[in-house]
Structure 1
């Protein structure tokens, strides 16, 4: 009978030790991810249609002013940069068609691309969406004609 008590104590010790280790592993994983926001995979699906609408508005109807609420507060946009892009888009001629490609999720942002055709030929436009106050906003926008890139909005930490 004396043999049974130490065996039970060791078993309880092993169980308690295993639970403690599991709790520490979970806690360290939670701490490692602290502050990191991961978007749900369907965020890109929700933005595919929004990207099509945005690209048509930007490329066919015209770039909105710098004060438009479509832009993220975290980005940098100025009336001068808007004016430059408008001039460049008009130089390449009107855009006749826009086709948004599927978007991809990148941690806190969603990257979307659209192919378009202008009078000067084909081009590609990129938009990075960032969630701000429960609304998706444009944090980055770039138009490219055969490698010639025009950036109108970018985050302060991005470089060209």
Structure 2
């Protein structure tokens, strides 16, 4: 009877019934497949986490180096290759920001930078990118502050998209403004001429 198994008949049933052959269980394959998928996902997460940690570490070091350079020598000039092609600051604006920074004196202490990474997508091909927003605290002679550097990945190279320096004690600038006002109010005395 070629693979059919005879079964006991129930009362009123035909004299014989065929039972279909037992199907193999795929339960083991589902378990093995699930474990393999879980391992692939775990490996992908671990690899992504390691890559993210390395990228954050690199940006943190670069942020500290750039902050030291900015606080000692001023902002890089317009057109410097450190800037992203998205930066449109004019040299006059960069010079103004450098003068602002110099009002607060030398930096005596730098904190540890902290960075956040983010990626964006946009239909405009110029806008999607990976960004790193990094900040560190500083102690200058006149005031504590925070240096924030926004990095953007341009063609696989990290470039500066923005540099911001904020100081806590704005009275330094008010004192400088008062000094300038006082000097402007004092009349200059013309030299006396002697006639003989």
Instruction: Verify same fold: TM over 0.5.
Output: yes
TM-score, length basis structure 1: 0.64
* Equivalent residue for 1:56, pick from 53, 68, 83: 68
**What is the Cα-based RMSD across aligned positions, in Å?**
2.9
List, as ranges, runs of 4+ consecutive aligned residues in structure 1 with deviation greater than 3 Å. Answer: none
Alignment-derived partner of residue 77 in structure 1: 89
Distance 1:140 1:120 in 2: 24
Higher strand share: 1
> Does the CA contact (< 8 Å) of 2:115 and 2:132 recur in 1?
yes
Q: 1:63 offset after TM fit, Å?
A: 1.4
Instruction: Name the structure 1 match of 2:100.
Output: 88
Residue 89 (structure 1) shift: 1.1
Residue aligned with 1:76, SS: coil
1:122 aligns with 144
Check whether the contact 1:45–1:102 (CA below 8 A) recurs between aligned residues: no
Please give the per-residue CA displacement for 1:37-88, whole angstroms capped at 9, x wherever unaligned: xxx5232122111111111111123211111111111122210111111110
| Count of residues in correspondence between the two structures | 122
- CA distance in 1: counterparts of 2:145 and 2:75, whole angstroms: 16
- Greater relative CO (CA pairs within 8 A, separation 6+): 1
Question: 1:143, 1:79 → 2: CA distance?
Answer: 17
Q: Which residue of 1 aligns with 2:117?
A: 105
Which structure has the bigger radius of gyration?
A: 2
Q: Structure 1, unaligned stretches of length 5 or more?
A: 5-39, 149-160
Confirm or deny that 1:142 pairs with 2:142.
no
